[in-house]
Amino acid sequence: MTTTQHKTACTRDCPDACGLIATVENGTVVRLDGDPDHPVTQGFICGRTRRFPERQNSSERLTKPLLRRQKSGSFDAIEWPAALDLAAENLIRFKQESGGTSIMQYRCGGSLGIMKHVGDYFFERFGPVTEKSGDVCTGAAEAAQLEDFGTFESNDYFDLHNAKTIFLWGKNVSVSNIHLIPELKKARANGTRIVLIDPIHHQTTAVSDCYIQPRPGGDAAIALGIAACLLKEGGWDPDASGYCDHHDRFQQLVRSHTPEEWARAADISLDQLRMLAAEWSNGPTCSLIGWGLQRRKFGATSIRAIDALVAVTGNLGITGGGASSYFGRRTAFDFSFSNPAVCPRRIPEPLFGPGVMQAADPPIRMMWVWAANPVAMLPESETVAEALRSREFTVVVDPFMTDSAQCADLILPTTTMLEEDDLVGAYGHHYVGAVNKVVEPPKGVLTDHEIFRELSRRTGHAEEFDVETEVWRKRLLSRIDAEGATEQLMTEGFVRNPFTPEILFADRVFPTETGRVNLIQELPEELTTPETDRGLRLTALSTSKSQASQWPTESQEGPAEAVIHPDAAGDHADGDVVSISSTEGTMQVRLKHDARQRPDVLLMEKGGWHSKGRSANALVPAEVTDNGECAVYYDTVVRLEG
C-alpha cells in the first residue's frame, strides 16, 4: 500500500477557503485535514469537509454523460464524444437561429475556483449569452457598501484582535465561518467583549458575552438606536462631518425617533439598547456583519444603517474598527482578458425561475447550468424546475444527480475539487490558495475546463480555449506574479493577497464619488415602526451538516425538520408532522419545539432537496431585495395547517 499526502485548498462556497492536506491511499482519498501552516486554517477543518471523502468516493458519482431523448423519458448513458458533439451542435444552432442571448449560462457556488471564470469567458466569447445579474448570496451587502464606501472589502482578518468590542451582526460563526471561533475565543481571553445580535438563537451565543435577539430585520433600528443614545451621551466622532456626506441629514434621521422608539421598532427593550450603546462606545469597535441579515426585503438598507453607525462613531480607517462584511476574493487575480460588460441580457438571479420563463426577444431556448443546483437553492423551486424542463435543450454539469440535473436533457458528469488544478480566493480573509489535483477522476470524467476545451474545438474557439489549465493559471496569476508572490503560493499553498491593505481607508479617503462616506438619509417605514401580526417567518439557514444542497442521499428521507417556539406551535406537539404553507405552496415538516427561538420564526436547514419535498425554497417567492438583487430568503410568512 502506498500512502501519500498532498497540499491543496478547499473551493467549497465558504468564507474560510481552507488550506487542506489530503491523504491518498492507493489512488483513493481517505482523509482530509486542515493545513497546520495555513494562518487561518490552523490545522483544522469543518465536519462537512472532513466527511468530503465519502462524497468523493461515493458510488452515486455520475461517471457517464446521460441523455434524455424525449422530454418525459428517462436518461440513457451515452459516450463523451457524442455528448460533446450534441452540446456543441445545440449551442451553434440556437446561436445561429436566435442569437447568443437565446442561450443562458448559470453558475453559482459549486466551486469558488478561479478557473471557473474561464468558463464564463468561454460563453462571453462564444455568445455573448444571457447571464444572471445580482447575487443571491451577498448582492444586497455589496450594493450597500459600494454605495456607502465605494468598495466591498474588510480590514485584515486578524485586525479584530485590536478591537475592544466585537459586534457580530447576525453571524452564526459556529456554522458558516468556523475558523473565526478560535480567534474570537482568543480575543475574549484578552479582554475583548463580544456582542451577538441575531433573531435566531444558535451556538455562537456560546462565544458571546452579550446576546440580543431582535425581531428579524431589526438591525437598522438597533444601529440608529445606538447612534441616538450616543448622540445624547457622547460617542460620535467630532470629525465625522469632515469625512461623511449627509452628516446633518443622518443626524436628523437618528433624531426622528427616541431611543425608546428605536428599541421598540427592533423589538428589544430600552435597557438592552442602552447596554448595546455602552458596549459600542467601548471602542475601537469592530463590526463583523453576517450574510443573513441582508437576505431580507430591506437587506441593503440594514447594512447601510450599520455602515453609518460605524462611520460616525469613528470606527473606519482605524485598527480594531471596520464594517467587515466581505473580503474581495477575486481582487488578487487578473481577469483583464474578459469584459463582462458585453453581456447583452441579464436575468436577476433571485428571479431565475419566472425570469427564464418570461424572457422574450429572444426566448431562452437553451440553458447551461454548472456548479449550481438552482432548483433546490433559488426561490420558487417548482418554477425553477419548470424553467429548466421547458427549455428546448438544458445541460447540467455536476458530479451528482441533483434536483436540477433531473430537469436536464443532457447531464455531463464532472470532477470534484480534489481532481483538478485551480486557484481560490477567500471571502472571509485575505489569503489566496493553490488548488491541486490530488487524485485522478473516475475514468472518463472531465473537469469543467476540459469540457470547455472540447466545446471550443467544435465551435471554432480552440485557439483561445483549447489550452492547458496551467496556461490559464499563469494568466490569472500575472498580477500576483508581478508582486513576486507566486512562488510562495505554489510552494506553501497560500499567500496573502498583495493588493489589500491591513486597514481600509487609513487616510479616511473613500473610493466614492466625493471621496467621503455616503451616509444613509432615510429608512422605509417598515424598519422604523414595530410590526404587528407578523406570522411565522420561514428561515432556512446554513447547517454544519452540509454544504448547501450537497447532502448524503439518506439524509433526505422523511419530512424536513422545522424548529419553532412552543407558543407558535398551537396544539402541535414536539415531533408532530404538519403542513406549512405560504403563497407559493405547501410542504410537510416535522416540528421541533425550541423555547429559545422567537415565536415569529420557523427555522429550517437550507438546501433540502425538492425531489424529496424538503426544499424550503419551494415556499419562498422570487423577489429581489431593496438593492443589489439579492434574494429575499427569510421574509416568507408561513402558516401551520390544521
Ligand X SMILES: Nc1nc2c(c(=O)[nH]1)N[C@H]1C(S)=C(S)[C@@H](COP(=O)(O)OP(=O)(O)OC[C@H]3O[C@@H](n4cnc5c(=O)[nH]c(N)nc54)[C@H](O)[C@@H]3O)O[C@H]1N2
Do 26 and 1 contact (CB within 8 A), yes or no? yes
Strand 165-169 versus strand 193-197 pairing type:
parallel
Here the cell at position 53 is: 471523502
Span 486-525, contacts to ligand X by CB under 6 A: none
Grid cell listed for 604: 429550517
Q: Is 171 in the site for ligand X (CB under 6 A)?
A: yes
Contacts of residue 282, Cβ cutoff 8 Å, sequence gap at least 6: 164, 165, 193
Q: Which is nearer to Mo ion, 366 or 541 (CB)?
A: 541
- 77 CB neighbour count, 10 Å cutoff: 12
Element (H, E) at 388: helix 381-389
Residue 139 as a binder of ligand X (CB under 6 A): the answer is no
Peptide bond before 348: cis, by omega within 30 degrees of 0?
Answer: no
Q: Among the candidate windows 506-514, 522-530, 582-590, 615-623, which touches ligand X by CB under 6 A?
A: 615-623
Segment (H or E) for 32: strand 28-34
Q: Does 617 bind ligand X (CB under 6 A)?
A: yes
- Write phi, then psi, for 101 (nearest 5 degrees): -70, -10
| Closer of 273 and 541 to ligand X (Cβ) | 541
Residues that bind ligand X (rule: CB under 6 A) add up to a total of: 61
CB of 327 to ligand X, least distance (A): 12
**3-class SS at 405?**
helix
Write the CB contacts of 271 (distance below 8 Å, at least 6 apart in sequence). Answer: none
Compute the least distance from the CB of residue 572 to Mo ion, in Å.
Answer: 32
Nearer to ligand X, 485 or 538 (CB): 538
Residue 541 interacts with ligand X (CB under 6 A): yes or no = yes
> Which residue, 137 or 300, is less far from Mo ion as judged by CB?
137
Closest CB 547 distance from ligand X, rounded Å: 5
Tell which one of 99, 134, 150, 216 touches ligand X (CB under 6 A).
216
136, 240, 273, 387: residue in contact with ligand X (rule CB under 6 A)? 136
Q: SS3 of 462, please?
A: helix
Work out how close the CB of 185 gets to ligand X at its nearest, in angstroms, rounded to a whole number: 17
Does 377 bind ligand X (CB under 6 A)? Our answer is: yes
Q: What's the closest the beta carbon of residue 206 comes to Mo ion, in angstroms?
A: 24
Binds 403: which of ligand X, Mo ion, none (CB < 5-8 Å by kind): none
Q: Applying CB under 6 A, which of residues 34, 99, 100, 217 lies at the interface with ligand X? A: 217
Q: x/- string (CB under 6 A) for ligand X, residues 85-114? A: -----------------------xxxx---
Residue 169 contacts ligand X per CB under 6 A: yes
**Considering beta carbons, is residue 290 or 493 the nearer one to Mo ion?**
290
Is 137 near Mo ion (CB under 5 A)? yes
Instruction: Return the CA Rg of the chain.
Output: 25
Q: Looking at beta carbons only, is 137 or 163 nearer to Mo ion?
A: 137
Q: How far is the CB of 431 from Mo ion (least distance, A)?
A: 19
DSSP output for 288-327: EE-SGGGSSTTHHHHHHHHHHHHHHTT-SSSTT--EE---
Q: Among 9, 10, 13, 591, which residue sits at the site for ligand X (rule: CB under 6 A)?
A: 13
Please give the distance of CA 169 from its chain centroid, rounded to a whole number.
16
Q: Which is nearer to Mo ion, 137 or 184 (CB)?
A: 137
Closest CA to 315 of 259, 253, 235: 235
Using the rule CB under 6 A, is 414 a contact of ligand X?
Answer: yes
Residue 216 interacting entry, from Mo ion, ligand X, none, C-beta within 5 to 8 Å by type: ligand X
Partner touching 267 among Mo ion, ligand X, none, CB below 5 to 8 Å by kind: none
Please report, in angstroms and rounded to a whole number, the separation of the first and last CA atoms in the chain. 60
Angstrom distance (rounded) from CA 146 to CA 297 = 18
What string marks each residue from 279 to 308 as x (binds ligand X by CB under 6 A) or -? -----------xxxx--x------------
- 175 is an interface residue for ligand X by CB under 6 A: yes
Query: Could you give the CA distance from residue 376 to residue 371 in angstroms, rounded to a whole number?
Result: 13
C-alpha cell at 538: 420561514
Between residue 186 and residue 205, which ones bind ligand X under the rule CB under 6 A? 197-200, 202
- Following DSSP, what letter does each residue of 228-282 receive, concatenated? HHHHHHS-S-TTHHHHEETHHHHHHHHHTS-HHHHHHHHT--HHHHHHHHHHHHS
Work out how close the CB of 357 gets to ligand X at its nearest, in angstroms, rounded to a whole number.
19
Could you count the other beta carbons within 10 Å of the beta carbon of residue 70? 7
Residue 143: count of CB within 10 angstroms of its CB: 24
In the beta sheet, which residues pair with residue 446?
A: 414
Which residues in this chain contact Mo ion in the complex, by CB under 5 A? 137
Which residues in this chain contact ligand X in the complex, by CB under 6 A? 13-15, 46, 48, 108-111, 136-137, 169-172, 175-176, 197-200, 202, 216-217, 219, 290-293, 296, 370-374, 376-377, 397-400, 402, 414, 448, 540-544, 546-550, 606-607, 616-617, 620, 633-634
